[in-house]
A and B are shown apart, each in its own frame.
Chain A
Amino acid sequence: MSGGKLITGFAVTATSHTLGEYRARGGYQALERALLGMKPEEVTGEITASGLQGRGGAAFPVGRKWSVIRPDDGETHYLCANADEGEPGTFKDRWVLENAPHLLLEAMLIASYALGVRHSFVYIRGEFDLAYRRLAGAVEEAYGAGLFGKDIFGSGFSCDVFVVRGAGSYVCGEASALITSIEGKKGYPRNRPPRLTVRGLYQKPTVINNVETLANIPWIIAHGAQAYRTFGTTKSPGTRLVSVSGHVTRPGVYEVEHGYPVGRFIHEDCGGVLGGRALKAVIPGGISTKVLTASEIEPHRLGHFGDCEDRRVLPQSAGIPHLEPLVFEGESLQAAGSSLGSGGMIVIAEGTCMVRVLQVMLRFYHHESCGQCTPCREGMGWLHRIVDRIVSGRGRPEDVDRLYEISRANDGTTICGLGDAAGYATVGILDKFRCEFEYFIAHGRSRYDGCLECLGSS
């Protein structure tokens, strides 16, 4: 078992998402506690003390973001919950929206109180169906019970919530593009500074947090920051919702305590690789995080390094396999050259063609680049076309170096992180599986028959 459960610790049934059952589990008591017993600054203080970090991808400390806002400065402030969940491989926020929508709403009320917010927003991705209906239903239930609107719990605090549905755009999950989209425009990201906590939605200070980030807040307010810190590790307190997919026996959303070993998680909790095949690689936190090889995850179990038989073809940057087994913790993943990202873990079995995996990724980034910045607009198309050419059997010897060059030219030269992310994904795969690209280019065909599928028995 992967440790304590702070978000998912209840039995999911056909009615467990309703207001009645949420309240029966103790729901909205943290809100009452905050509104009637704490000052807004005390709420922020508790969140800061908890060490809670953002779960949207960048692991930014929540307390630090919130502390920029002065709740009583007379300004208008806004709060937006980021429910865009666009990072491929990620479906954990969907779990919260479908199974615990009131947890998000309670968290938003607590955050709104702490930040002096009168109007809050949820930006939910446009394709979500059940998740949207559950959320919209929960909003109406909450209004009906006087949990939104004026003078909540007779505290004098008033707050509204408005749900905006996206319309099919990955980049709108990026915080500033999300704001532009809520303003009813095409979703172009904005340059910083000014930070969004200084000038955000309609030019007013705005806090944006991921759904899972917010979902931790009621627990922290109910039990206190010290209790929260007993979960996880010193540097990464609490738990993580990990969405596991790909070649794995039991895919799904798991709540994992920080510090839990990644290899054990895949083999024991998730039932191992599909069809009993060997593990080839793991993308730990959404496709924008760098891929890890089986030997990086479990250096003690495996002797081989990546999928390349010849170690000499690996460039210096491939990183040294560390001896400690990898654990769910920002620092551990960072040491391995990757990150926990959005918690979207993709398991890849032996026999999968990594050239085709990269092709799928680059088609995605190319399709989703908003076109505002030249390096990303041109670079995404260029990367995509090169890999397409390799897959069509017409690759050129210089193609691998060209992919590296374009990825590096993108890094840090654009307004948002989309182009950077595509570059990390590309460099990650090239560093670890360069030989597969060289094979494809030399022979005009995949070393693994272009295989992506592994259907197993399920």
Chain B
Amino acid sequence: MKHLIPECEALKARLPQGFESTLVLPCLRRVQEERGYVADGDIDALAQYLGVPRVQIEEVLSFYTQFRRQPIGRWHLQACHNVSCSLRGAGSLLDRLRERLGIEPGQTTPDGRFTLSTVECLGSCGTAPVLVVNEVYHESMTPEKLDALLEGLE
């Protein structure tokens, strides 16, 4: 991931001296965007580049739910199941997803096309229920909209 170094150097310019550790989260995010997950080698390289202990990076990776250590499906479907979404049909949406994909939250379809997850409130409660597909919010979801959406995801 050496090609990310110029980008990280640019970030450093807006930070005070001695803030290398602050770059742990931003750098991990960029690595994950590129590779799809964070590999062992990435941890070593980042620890060395930023001069932070390897264990700090390991802790960060296990603490924050958005970081992954393994590859997942091409399309990551994240359904919110917190209160407001549940009041507006998150349960039915999830049932539909289970049925259509044949998997449970936390699983990936055998063809590697979809990974299904449940997530907590995403700040989309006013346009509930919400389904996030690879970072993009799909709001006010209905079973019909879901069917149309799934068709378009190769």
Residue of A nearest to B65 (CB): A168
Interface presence of B24 (CB below 8 A): yes
Tell me whether A454 is interfacial, beta carbon within 8 Å: yes
Q: Please state if A185 and B83 are interface contacts (CB–CB under 8 Å).
A: no
List residues of chain B with CB within 8 A of the CB of A186: 59-60, 62-64
Q: Name the segment of B97-105, B106-114, B120-128, B144-152 touching the other chain.
A: B120-128
CA distance in complex: A213, B4 (Å): 36
Q: Given the complex, which residues of A lie within 8 Å of B15, measured CB to CB? A: 119, 160, 162
Supposing A126-B64, A167-B29, A184-B60 touch, asked if A360 and B88 sit within 8 A by C-beta, the answer is: no
CA of A160 to CA of B88, assembled, Å: 42
Q: Which residue on chain A has the smallest CB distance to residue B81?
A: A360
B side interface size, CB within 8 A: 50
Say how far B53's CB is from chain A's closest CB, in angstroms: 10
In Å, the complex CA distance between A346 and B81 comes to 15
Q: At the interface, yes or no: A350 with Cβ under 8 Å from chain B? A: no
Would you call B25 and A130 a contact (CB within 8 A)?
no
Chain A residues whose CB sits within 8 angstroms of the CB of B84 once the complex forms: 88-89, 245-246, 346
**Are A245's CB and B128's CB within 8 A?**
yes
- Selected from B16, B25, B50, B120, the residue in CB contact (under 8 A) with A165 is B25
Note all chain A residues with C-beta closer than 8 A to B63: 169, 186-187, 370
Whether a CB of chain A sits under 8 angstroms from the CB of B67 is yes
Kindly list chain A residues whose C-beta atoms are within 8 Å of the C-beta of B122.
127
**B67's closest neighbor in chain A, by CB?**
A167
Looking at the assembled complex, report how far the CB atom of B86 sits from the nearest CB atom of chain A, in whole angstroms.
5
Does A4 have its Cβ within 8 Å of any Cβ on chain B? Answer: no
| A249 CB, min distance to chain B CBs, angstroms | 12
Instruction: Give the docked Cα–Cα distance between A91 and B123 (Å).
Output: 5
In the complex, chain A residues whose CB is within 8 Å of the CB of B123: 85, 90-91, 93-94, 125, 127-128, 131
Q: How far is the CB of B130 from chain A (nearest CB, A)?
A: 10
Query: Is A455 located at the chain interface by the 8 A CB criterion?
Result: yes
Extra A-B contacts (13), CB below 8 Å, given A88-B120, A251-B126: A91-B126, A118-B16, A127-B119, A161-B14, A164-B26, A167-B28, A167-B60, A167-B64, A184-B25, A185-B56, A186-B60, A187-B64, A453-B89
Measured CB to CB, the residues of B under 8 A from A are 11, 14-16, 18-19, 21-26, 28-29, 50, 52, 56, 59-60, 62-67, 81-84, 86-89, 91-92, 119-128, 132, 135-137, 140
**6 contacting pairs across A/B (C-beta < 8 A):** A90-B123, A126-B66, A184-B56, A246-B125, A352-B87, A453-B88
